[in-house]
Amino acid sequence: MHSSITARDALCLTLVLMLLGCSSVATQQRAQQQQQQQKPPANSSPTPPEDAAADRIDRPTSEPYTGDLSIFEDAQRERNLQINRVMDILKIKEGSSVADIGAGSGWFTVRAARRAGASGRVYAVEINEDYIKYIDRRAAREKLPSVRTVLGSEDDPRLPARSVDAVLILKTYHEIAQPVRVLKRLRAAMRDGALLGIIDRDGEGDDHGLDGEQVIREAGQAGFTLVEQHDFVKPDNMDYFLVFRAKN
Ligand SMILES: C[S@@+](CC[C@H](N)C(=O)[O-])C[C@H]1O[C@@H](n2cnc3c(N)ncnc32)[C@H](O)[C@@H]1O
């Protein structure tokens, strides 16, 4: 009698221990999964929570464009924008490493890649995967192997640290949902002396434009200082071209 109770007890104890073991393995696996999901994307620096809150902007932004890419290929655009003058001001030359943020159809990407040549590099950053594929096909068709497409996120262009000499954000800034965060990460991707150009249209944020003074304030918050300001980028004077450098 005594020995049969002991055997049942032992069996119960074994079962309890096995169940406890399973649940602790499951808990460990869940913790590991959570850690993996929270890992920041490759090439990006983690965002301390207090910074993320302070970097959030309190103004409207425009919905990212998702339409037909042919609208960016207007034949007059090169002349109206004076894109060669823009590239001169950003000091883009043979061998330069350039980032085109919000590259769309790759209109600027291919022009920068032609100027930077085979020894240069142009990162075409987009949040739209279809546009990334479009630019990949375009770069192959136009024989521009220096083009690298990068799938960014709304708060991270995912560029390697200290990898670029010039950045252009062309008609995109008003769409960027987290501009301060994006600009801070761009600053980390820029080499010493690199220039950041922002071309946009005056507006309210949600109407595909944004007041230039607001852009200057947000760039200041992200650690940039305004070094030049131009209005030649569109004959109707609605567009501005701001040039920034990282503060020391
Ligand atoms: C109006 S289009 C301009 C395209 C191109 N820059 C041009 O002027 O030909 C804006 C583009 O920015 C992209 N975009 C919006 N937010 C972005 C972000 N945070 N990072 C990268 N691209 C972004 C959109 O997907 C869209 O293709």
pLDDT tens digits for range 153-162: 999 999 999 9
Confidence of residue 6 (pLDDT cuts 50, 70, 90): low
In a domain, 38, yes or no: no
Residue 128 belongs to domain spanning: 49-246
**Quick one: which atom of ligand 1 is closest to the CA of 155?**
19
In a domain, 72, yes or no: yes
In a domain, 198, yes or no: yes
* Span from the CA of 164 to the centroid of ligand 1 (angstroms): 19
Among residues 84, 77, 158, which one has the least CA distance to residue 125? 158
Among residues 112, 102, 240, which one has the least CA distance to residue 183? 102
Which tens digit of pLDDT belongs to each residue from 104-129? 999 999 999 999 999 999 999 999 99
Would you say the CB of residue 232 lies under 6 angstroms from ligand 1? Answer: no
* Span from the CA of 20 to the centroid of ligand 1 (angstroms): 52
**Quick one: which atom of ligand 1 is closest to the CA of 178?**
19
pLDDT at 238: 81
Average pLDDT of every residue of the chain: 87
pTM of the predicted model, to two decimals? 0.84
In a domain, 226, yes or no: yes
Tell me what the mean pLDDT of segment 132-149 comes to. 98
In a domain, 223, yes or no: yes
Measured between alpha carbons, how far is 84 from 96 in angstroms, rounded to an integer?
Answer: 14
pLDDT at 8: 55
In a domain, 97, yes or no: yes
The total number of structural domains that make up the chain: 1
Confidence of residue 234 (pLDDT cuts 50, 70, 90): confident
In a domain, 195, yes or no: yes
In a domain, 16, yes or no: no
pLDDT at 171: 98
Tell me, what CATH number does 121's domain have? 3.40.50.150
- Contact (CB, 8 A) for 102 and 200: no
Would you say the CB of residue 172 lies under 6 angstroms from ligand 1? Answer: yes
